[in-house]
């Protein structure tokens, strides 16, 4: 989904992770286990338990906080995972580096449930040769209306000096830079240095002075504890942390600003050399059963953006409408232009502290 870090952080992570993590032996006792590497807050425990019970297996579920962390761990020798959930730009990178098994569609009976409109956006793999879409979504803004009763649904909220010290944005280069670019009327994938620098200046001069910090780890907890009143982030994280605090839940508005912003398609991909490939196919197909996909979306308050028949099974209220995603734009692999973003983010925004 979602969170990105600068290149220096990626290489630092790689240096820490130069040993294989799981070391699955492929022994007979291990054949009834499925190893999943997924985002934090991204698959309900109830769904995992149903899969385990139906197939008589054990799911080993590890979590990552950014695409870069996931990629660095696997590239550095973190072996043993069967399914991984990268976002679209990293799906593209990992396909080009031959890191995935090719999808055998004959083993998946529920692929027809995937919305063709989502596949049209997935230009990096439109026929699901290596990836099966899991969720199409976007970050947005959560506001505590008890503390901030009057506000405009816009990225410009972060320029409000009266809210200084009560707001956070993600520690995520592509997300924050993408927000600023869309606010200024540019593409989140622009390769124009002047536009990139304009986004940098907006963040550095107008938004950053009012932020407590750039935070991709604890923004949900800080919001739930009342430390932050306005946070950029993902609704599943915010509402998971709010939990059963009904007062705060009722006072929370989540929206995707009308200017748009970056969006993502996270996908299920089978890693090259998976030792439990048959179970991996069973899990992917299980997720796209309409009733299971609806349960996943209801748990997190998601609209059922990827699975069409699941929309008839949904029971819960979504934190935002699928139509709000029409304003957004997928982040793609920028190639060498990523260096311009790294320079804007690391050399200007990050220096001097958050």
Fold for domain 138-262+332-350?
D-Maltodextrin-Binding Protein; domain 2 (3.40.190)
Q: Hey, do 7-137+264-323 and 138-262+332-350 end up sharing a CATH topology, with the first three levels equal?
A: yes
- Nearest Cα neighbor of 81 from 39, 34, 35 is 35
Amino acid 350: pLDDT: 60
Look at residue 27 and tell me whether its pLDDT is greater than 60: no
Amino acid 18: pLDDT: 41
Residue 96: which H helix or E strand, with range?
Answer: helix 88-96
Lowest mean pLDDT among 66-80, 84-98, 147-161, 239-253: 66-80
Amino acid 202: pLDDT: 96
What 214-221 contacts at long range (C-beta under 8 Å, 24+ apart), as own/partner pairs, is 214/168, 214/169, 214/170, 214/171, 214/172, 214/176, 214/349, 214/350, 214/354, 215/168, 215/169, 215/170, 215/171, 215/354, 216/3, 216/65, 216/66, 216/170, 216/171, 216/172, 217/65, 217/171, 219/168, 219/170
Query: Is residue 11 classed as helix, strand or coil in its secondary structure?
Result: helix
Amino acid 79: pLDDT: 67
- Nearest-Å Rg of the Cα atoms of the chain is 20
277, 31 contact by CB (below 8 A)? no
Backbone angles phi, psi at 265, to 5 degrees: -120, 110
Amino acid 346: pLDDT: 79
Residue bearing tokens 């730009």: 89
Q: Domain spans of the chain?
A: 7-137+264-323, 138-262+332-350
Q: What is the pLDDT of residues 297-354, one digit of tens each?
A: 999 999 999 999 999 999 988 999 999 999 899 999 898 999 999 999 975 566 444 4
Amino acid 21: pLDDT: 43
Amino acid 249: pLDDT: 95
Residue 49: partners with Cβ closer than 8 Å, 6 or more residues away? none
pLDDT average, residue stretch 123-135:
97
Q: What is the pLDDT of residues 236-263, one digit of tens each?
A: 899 989 999 999 999 999 999 999 999 9
In this prediction, residue 269 has a pLDDT band, given cuts at 50, 70 and 90, of: very high
Q: What is the rounded distance in angstroms from the CA atom of residue 30 to the CA atom of residue 82?
A: 12
Amino acid 28: pLDDT: 52
Q: 182 exposed, middle or buried (CB, 10 Å; 0-12, 13-18, 19+)?
A: buried
Q: Percent of the chain beyond pLDDT 90?
A: 80
Amino acid 40: pLDDT: 82
CB atoms within 10 A of CB 169: 29
Amino acid 25: pLDDT: 42
**Average pLDDT over the chain, rounded to an integer:** 90
pLDDT average, residue stretch 22-34:
63
Q: What is the pLDDT of residues 164-181, one digit of tens each?
A: 999 999 988 999 999 999
Amino acid 245: pLDDT: 96
Pairing of strands 211-214, 167-169: parallel
Residue 140: partners with Cβ closer than 8 Å, 6 or more residues away? 232, 233, 234, 235, 254, 255, 256, 257, 261, 320, 324
pLDDT average, residue stretch 60-79:
88
Look at residue 29 and tell me whether its pLDDT is greater than 70: no
Amino acid 7: pLDDT: 42
Residue 16: partners with Cβ closer than 8 Å, 6 or more residues away? none
CATH of domain 7-137+264-323: 3.40.190.10
Q: What is the rounded distance in angstroms from the CA atom of residue 186 to the CA atom of residue 341?
A: 14
Answer left, alpha or beta for residue 243, where phi above 0 means left and psi between -120 and 50 means alpha.
Answer: left
pLDDT average, residue stretch 73-87:
91
In this prediction, residue 41 has a pLDDT band, given cuts at 50, 70 and 90, of: confident
* Highest mean pLDDT pick, 13-27, 61-75, 217-231: 217-231
Look at residue 53 and tell me whether its pLDDT is greater than 60: yes
Look at residue 47 and tell me whether its pLDDT is greater than 60: yes
Lowest mean pLDDT among 34-48, 107-121, 206-220, 337-351: 337-351
Residue 280: which H helix or E strand, with range?
Answer: helix 277-287
Cα dist. 170→116, 177, 198, 261 in Å? 30, 10, 19, 13
In this prediction, residue 192 has a pLDDT band, given cuts at 50, 70 and 90, of: very high
């Amino acid at each position: 989904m979602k969170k990105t870090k600068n290149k220096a952080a990626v290489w630092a992570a790689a240096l820490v992770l130069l040993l294989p993590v799981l070391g699955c032996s492929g022994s007979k006792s291990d054949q009834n286990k499925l190893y999943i590497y997924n985002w934090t807050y991204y698959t309900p425990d109830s769904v995992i338990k149903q899969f385990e019970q139906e197939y008589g297996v054990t799911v080993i579920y590890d979590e990552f906080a950014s695409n870069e962390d996931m990629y660095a761990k696997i590239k550095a020798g973190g072996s043993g995972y069967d399914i991984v959930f990268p976002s679209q730009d990293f799906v593209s990178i990992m396909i080009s580096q031959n890191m995935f098994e090719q999808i055998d569609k004959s083993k998946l009976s529920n692929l027809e449930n995937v919305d063709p409109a989502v596949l049209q956006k997935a230009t990096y793999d439109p026929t699901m040769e290596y990836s099966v879409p899991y969720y199409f979504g976007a970050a947005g803004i959560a506001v505590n209306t008890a503390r901030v009763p009057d506000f405009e649904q816009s990225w410009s909220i972060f320029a409000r000096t009266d809210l200084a010290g009560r707001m956070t944005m993600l520690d995520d280069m592509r997300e924050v830079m993408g927000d600023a670019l869309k606010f200024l009327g540019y593409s989140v994938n622009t390769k124009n240095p002047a536009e990139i620098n304009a986004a940098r200046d907006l963040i550095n001069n107008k938004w950053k002075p009012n932020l407590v910090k750039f935070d991709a780890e604890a923004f949900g907890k800080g919001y739930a504890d009342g430390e932050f009143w306005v946070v950029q982030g993902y609704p599943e994280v915010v509402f998971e942390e709010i939990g059963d605090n009904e007062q705060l839940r009722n006072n929370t508005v989540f929206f995707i600003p009308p200017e748009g912003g970056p969006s993502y398609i996270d996908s299920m991909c089978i890693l090259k050399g998976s030792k439990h490939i048959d179970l991996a196919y069973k899990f992917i197909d299980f997720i796209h059963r309409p009733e299971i996909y609806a349960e996943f979306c209801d748990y997190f308050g998601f609209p059922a953006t990827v699975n069409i028949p699941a929309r008839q099974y949904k029971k819960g209220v979504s934190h935002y409408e699928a139509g709000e995603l029409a304003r957004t734009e997928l982040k793609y692999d920028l190639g060498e232009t990523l260096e311009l973003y790294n320079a804007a983010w690391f050399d200007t925004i990050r220096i001097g502290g958050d």
